[in-house]
Amino acid sequence: MVFASAFRSIARGSALNSAARLSIARPTFQVARAQPLAIRNYSAAHEETFDEFTTRFEKEFEEAYDLFEVQRVLNNCFAYDLVPAPSVIEKALQACRRVNDFPTAVRVFEGLKYKVDNKSQYQAYLDALKDVREELGITLKEDLFPKLAQ
């Protein structure tokens, strides 16, 4: 009997405690968004023009001394949101030939194909670089694997 009354008092106390806990007003916090005093212009650096871009990468391809450097410069060149000029592609192909790397030269055209907007632009690049391709003996992936080109 003593046990039952003790159990009831504990049960009533916990019910009261939970009701009391729910009725306690808790402070609410509103997050105030801080307004910046000044806005920094992170893009205030020198912007490179297309001609400066072309000149810089032509120079980098001329100075590339091994396969790693040629591929590094190619990766940097194609990472930009623009299509390199035919003169840059010509210097890249000459650099590939200088380090005796035929696969990278073929992949330059493959990367160029995916970089341009449409097939007519790709064809214009092929026409502009036809003499260089013939001089260096570079064939296109479409010529090497005609079944994959379809």
Per-residue pLDDT reduced to its tens digit, 54-68: 999 999 999 999 999
Decide if pLDDT at 40 tops 90.
no
Residue at 2: amino acid letter: V
Decide if pLDDT at 88 tops 90.
yes
Query: What is this structure's pTM?
Result: 0.68
CA angle 44, 48, 54 (to 5 degrees): 170
Decide if pLDDT at 91 tops 60.
yes
CA angle 67, 74, 53 (to 5 degrees): 135
SS3 of the chain: helix, strand, coil, percent, to 5: 65, 0, 35
Whole-number pLDDT of residue 47: 85
Domains of the chain: 50-149 (1.25.40.40)
